[in-house]
C-alpha cells in the first residue's frame, strides 16, 4: 500500500526566501539521492506562512528504510538542521502519515 507522509510547518516571516531556497535543496537532494517523490506544497488558503512537504513511499517498510538512510547521511542532516533551526517556527512541525486503501476485488 502506498504511504504518504504529510508534514506541515510555519515558515518564519523574516526567513521566507531562505526557507524556500532550503526547501528546494532538501527536495532536490531527497529526489536525486534517495529516488523519492517529494513535493513542496504552498498555501492557497489558510495561514499564509504554513507550508507542507508531501513524500510518497511504496509502503511503511520503504518509509522506514529511507528514513534510516537519510538520518545516517551527514549531508542530509546538515540540510534539515539548517532548515529547522533557522527557517521554521519552533514547535510548528506536524507530521501525518496516510496510506491508500486497497481496491476491493470483484467476486
- CA dist 96 and 50 (Å) reads 15
| pLDDT range class, residue 31, cuts 50, 70, 90 | very high
Backbone angles phi, psi at 102, to 5 degrees: -60, 145
Is the domain covering 3-99 a CATH 3.30.70.100 domain?
yes
Domain boundaries in the chain? 3-99
The pLDDT tens digits for 56-76 are 999 999 999 999 999 999 999
Percent of the chain with pLDDT over 70: 100
The string over 58-82, giving b where at least 16 C-beta atoms fall within 10 Å of a residue's C-beta and e elsewhere, is eeeeebeebeeebeeeeebeebbee
Say what angle helices 16-33 and 74-86 make with each other, to 10 degrees: 160
The pLDDT tens digits for 73-92 are 999 999 999 888 899 999 99
Four-CA torsion 49, 73, 59, 52, nearest 10 degrees: 0
Three-state secondary-structure class, residue 44 = coil
Instruction: Report the pLDDT value the prediction gives residue 44, as an integer from 0 to 100.
Output: 94
Other C-beta atoms closer than 10 Å to the C-beta of 20 total 15
- CA dist 37 and 79 (Å) reads 17
Percent of the chain with pLDDT over 90: 84
This prediction's pTM: 0.87
Amino acid at each position: 500500500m502506498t504511504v504518504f507522509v504529510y508534514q506541515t510547518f510555519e515558515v518564519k516571516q523574516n526567513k521566507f526566501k531562505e526557507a524556500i531556497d532550503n526547501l528546494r535543496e532538501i527536495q532536490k537532494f531527497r529526489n536525486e539521492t534517495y529516488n523519492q517523490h517529494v513535493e513542496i506544497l504552498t498555501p492557497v488558503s489558510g495561514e499564509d506562512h504554513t507550508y507542507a512537504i508531501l513524500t510518497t513511499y511504496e509502503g511503511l517498510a520503504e518509509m522506514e528504510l529511507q528514513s534510516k538512510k537519510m538520518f545516517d547521511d551527514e549531508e542530509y542532516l546538515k540540510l534539515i538542521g539548517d532548515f529547522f533551526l533557522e527557517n521554521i517556527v519552533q514547535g510548528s512541525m506536524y507530521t501525518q502519515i496516510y496510506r491508500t486503501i486497497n481496491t476491493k476485488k470483484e467476486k
